[in-house]
Chains A and B, each alone.
Chain A
Amino acid sequence: MISAIFSFAFAAQVIRIAVPYAFASLGGAVTERSGNIDLAIEAKLLFGAFAAAAIGHATGSALAGIAAGMAAGMVVAAVQIGCSQWLAADQVIVGVALNIIALGGTRFLLQAIYHEGANSPPAPSYGDAVLTNPLVPAALVAAVLVPLAVRRTRWGLRLRAAGDRPDALVAVGVSPRRTRLNAALVGGALAGAGGAQLSLVVGGFSADMSSGRGYIALAMVILSGWRPAAAAIACVGVALAEAISIQAQLHLHVRQIVDLAPLLPYIVTLAVLAGYRGRDRSPPSALGKL
């Protein structure tokens, strides 16, 4: 098992697993820094994965699939911000509702379009390839550019102001709501790209294929103190844990431990949350408020 871990194939596997987490947590960090709780990451991943598979299947082009996945993430983000900022609905409940809708909605779309219960017809597949999958370098670029943009650009300054001091933003004549919508659309596109990675790696959509990754990504955003770069790095850690658990299932023979291995990311997240007080790194001060 040790030799399996120090191999190129293992590294490729870690990267493949890390990409959706990294996109999702970068998107979540951007949305949350602007002051809106982002519990709908799961919905963005799921609709993104579906759209990427559906358009990839229809056009035969993986790039068109990626674009569709990002667009789907943006649509979910627009609905989320519309409900929570313009209609003033509870941000946590809106997020959970969108996740339930995504779970049933993608299954409904599978039935309505393909008359299938669980799987979409085949879409272009990148497999474990690292060099030919454009989402891999895109994730790296995003992990560098998004933190820089949040920290150094006017867009980032406004976004942080919307999250920390919306009244100051109003004083200079900028609408916090609009700023949050802009941020969430970027966040939605990022999470949608993460969804596209999920379905384009295996060449098709299957029901509930995000299986809680959006929630883990959000947990990483919180653990990293709402800093996108740190969140993306934490996601590589999650991917490492997941890849090791896969290797353990292949190589170890203590059945009971091996069968519990897939729970590792959840248990690690819980343990870190339990051991971490979060006093030094607080959330954006207007997070969740209007």
Chain B
Amino acid sequence: MKRPASVTALLASMAIGSVLMLIVGKSPGHVWWSMVTSVCGDPYLVGQVLFKATALTLTGLAVSIPLDAGLFNIGGEAQLGAGVFASAVVGAALPGGTPAVIAIPVCVLAAVLAGAAVGGAIGVLRVARGAHEVITSIMLNAVVAGVVLVEGMHHIFQGGTTTGPPIARGAWLPGLGLAGSAANTSIVLAAGAVALVWWLRARTTWGQAWLAVGRDPEAARSVGIDVGRVQIWVMTGAGALAGLAATSFVMGHKHALEEGLGRGAGLLGISAALLGRLHPVGVAVAALLLGFLSVGGLAVGELVPKELTEMLQGVVVLAIAVAAAWERRR
């Protein structure tokens, strides 16, 4: 029976994690089992898994679509950061009594446009200037985080704190309940994005165009596809999705700009995209798994350092890269 590469990679990563647990003197079976029981038995932790998975699904799609088209978007941090900043600033600028029908779309749009602008810039630099998207993405990650921090310190954060003014009440996305966890209805936006990407990829000429560019840019060009334009649009769309993830943090959870809000979710999207084998539904499943790993790692923090699961997220990426190559060669 042929085992898919992501399952092999996941098992290999768990094995490596188990070895590390043995090194710090804990029984791997016990740690994994208490991870499962403590998360599944606690509605609050289940909610936290859903909260993490919401953002990771979106940042994962922001990596998987460009990879489909042969581009590596590791600018998710910058795109998400820009989205967080834009939606929080716009949300706080809205008059307090703005009804939800106006406030929610306006804030969502702000997040999406800000992320799309950053993604689009990376795409334009790549297409017009030949600047490698990995390098420009990393520079932009640092620049956006720095600019948000400085702007926050000078104009937004309130007296000595690292929190800005609250966004208008109408822009709050309701929570899912789950014992006061951060899970909120932005999960509907994430599910919608999965469906939209699935439909674009499987049913439209747009999806076919980006897949064709990823398979062989020369062949795509020879059948009349404008490769540069597809690459720019793909990066713009990816940025929009990563920006959309800001809605979960700002509108669904903190309701204000906070220093470092959402940090890390952009980078972890790479793991979600690769573990999900670039398929939108796969990305969502992978996001749930990674969310579980991260929440579970905290839950068993007394047994093993939580840094162990952070490291495993990188191990998963490495294992998938190897397993996918293995699968290709057979």
Task: Give the interface of A toward B (CB within 8 A).
Answer: 39, 83, 87-90, 92-94, 96-105, 107-108, 110-112, 212, 215, 218-219, 222, 255-256, 259-260, 262-263, 266-267, 269-270, 273-279
* A98 / chain B contacts, CB cutoff of 8 Å: 314, 318
Whether A101 and B130, one on each chain, are in contact in the complex, defined by CB atoms closer than 8 angstroms, is: no
Instruction: Knowing A256-B154, A266-B139 are in contact, say whether A277-B310 is a contact too (CB < 8 A).
Output: no
Complex Cα gap A145–B163 (Å) = 51
For B24, B136, B307, the residue with the greatest tally of chain A CB atoms inside 10 Å of its CB is: B307
Complex Cα gap A94–B149 (Å) = 31
Instruction: Knowing A83-B318, A89-B324, A100-B317 are in contact, say whether A274-B129 is a contact too (CB < 8 A).
Output: yes
Whether A222 and B310, one on each chain, are in contact in the complex, defined by CB atoms closer than 8 angstroms, is: no
Whether B270 and A96, one on each chain, are in contact in the complex, defined by CB atoms closer than 8 angstroms, is: yes
Within 8 A of A (CB), among B297-330: 305, 307-308, 310-315, 317-318, 320-322, 324-326, 328-329
Chain A residue with Cβ nearest B23: A112
Q: How far is the CB of B128 from chain A (nearest CB, A)?
A: 9
* Contact sample, A vs B, 12 pairs, CB 8 Å cutoff: A88-B328, A88-B329, A92-B72, A94-B318, A100-B314, A100-B317, A104-B308, A105-B311, A256-B150, A259-B149, A263-B146, A277-B130
Whether B318 and A101, one on each chain, are in contact in the complex, defined by CB atoms closer than 8 angstroms, is: yes
* B310 / chain A contacts, CB cutoff of 8 Å: 103-104, 107-108
Whether B140 and A270, one on each chain, are in contact in the complex, defined by CB atoms closer than 8 angstroms, is: yes
Q: Which of B23, B129, B147, B274 contacts A260 (CB 8 A)?
A: B147
**Looking at chain A's contact residues, is the secondary structure mostly helix, strand, loop, or mixed?**
helix
Whether B321 and A93, one on each chain, are in contact in the complex, defined by CB atoms closer than 8 angstroms, is: yes
Complex Cα gap A262–B142 (Å) = 10
* A112 / chain B contacts, CB cutoff of 8 Å: 23-24, 305
Complex Cα gap A107–B306 (Å) = 9
Whether B315 and A255, one on each chain, are in contact in the complex, defined by CB atoms closer than 8 angstroms, is: no
Is B111 interfacial (CB 8 A cutoff)? no
Chain B residue with Cβ nearest A257: B150
Is B143 interfacial (CB 8 A cutoff)? yes
Q: Which 4 A-B pairs have the closest CB atoms?
A: A100-B314, A104-B311, A104-B310, A101-B314
Q: Which of A92, A218, A262, A274 contacts B131 (CB 8 A)?
A: A274
**Looking at chain B's contact residues, is the secondary structure mostly helix, strand, loop, or mixed?**
helix
Is B225 interfacial (CB 8 A cutoff)? no
Complex Cα gap A279–B138 (Å) = 22
Is B19 interfacial (CB 8 A cutoff)? no
* B131 / chain A contacts, CB cutoff of 8 Å: 273-274, 276
* B125 / chain A contacts, CB cutoff of 8 Å: 273-274
Is B62 interfacial (CB 8 A cutoff)? no
Whether B325 and A108, one on each chain, are in contact in the complex, defined by CB atoms closer than 8 angstroms, is: no
* B197 / chain A contacts, CB cutoff of 8 Å: none
Instruction: Knowing A87-B326, A108-B305, A263-B146 are in contact, say whether A101-B315 is a contact too (CB < 8 A).
Output: yes
Whether B74 and A96, one on each chain, are in contact in the complex, defined by CB atoms closer than 8 angstroms, is: yes
* A99 / chain B contacts, CB cutoff of 8 Å: 314
Whether A259 and B135, one on each chain, are in contact in the complex, defined by CB atoms closer than 8 angstroms, is: no
Whether A222 and B143, one on each chain, are in contact in the complex, defined by CB atoms closer than 8 angstroms, is: no
Instruction: Knowing A97-B314, A100-B313, A112-B23 are in contact, say whether A273-B129 is a contact too (CB < 8 A).
Output: yes
* B305 / chain A contacts, CB cutoff of 8 Å: 107-108, 111-112
Whether B314 and A90, one on each chain, are in contact in the complex, defined by CB atoms closer than 8 angstroms, is: no
Whether B135 and A83, one on each chain, are in contact in the complex, defined by CB atoms closer than 8 angstroms, is: no
Is B221 interfacial (CB 8 A cutoff)? no
Chain A residue with Cβ nearest B138: A215
Whether A104 and B324, one on each chain, are in contact in the complex, defined by CB atoms closer than 8 angstroms, is: no
Is B212 interfacial (CB 8 A cutoff)? no
Q: Which of A94, A105, A111, A270 contacts B321 (CB 8 A)?
A: A94
Whether A273 and B136, one on each chain, are in contact in the complex, defined by CB atoms closer than 8 angstroms, is: yes
Whether B135 and A215, one on each chain, are in contact in the complex, defined by CB atoms closer than 8 angstroms, is: yes
* A270 / chain B contacts, CB cutoff of 8 Å: 136, 139-140, 143
Whether B129 and A101, one on each chain, are in contact in the complex, defined by CB atoms closer than 8 angstroms, is: no
Complex Cα gap A278–B140 (Å) = 20
Complex Cα gap A266–B139 (Å) = 5
Complex Cα gap A222–B134 (Å) = 12
Is B20 interfacial (CB 8 A cutoff)? yes
* B147 / chain A contacts, CB cutoff of 8 Å: 260, 263
Chain B residue with Cβ nearest A88: B325
- In addition to A98-B318, A266-B146, A267-B143, 5 A-B residue pairs with Cβ atoms within 8 Å of each other are A107-B311, A108-B20, A108-B308, A262-B146, A274-B125
Complex Cα gap A105–B149 (Å) = 27
Whether B318 and A97, one on each chain, are in contact in the complex, defined by CB atoms closer than 8 angstroms, is: yes
Whether B318 and A219, one on each chain, are in contact in the complex, defined by CB atoms closer than 8 angstroms, is: no
Whether A269 and B321, one on each chain, are in contact in the complex, defined by CB atoms closer than 8 angstroms, is: no
Complex Cα gap A88–B321 (Å) = 9
Chain A residue with Cβ nearest B150: A259
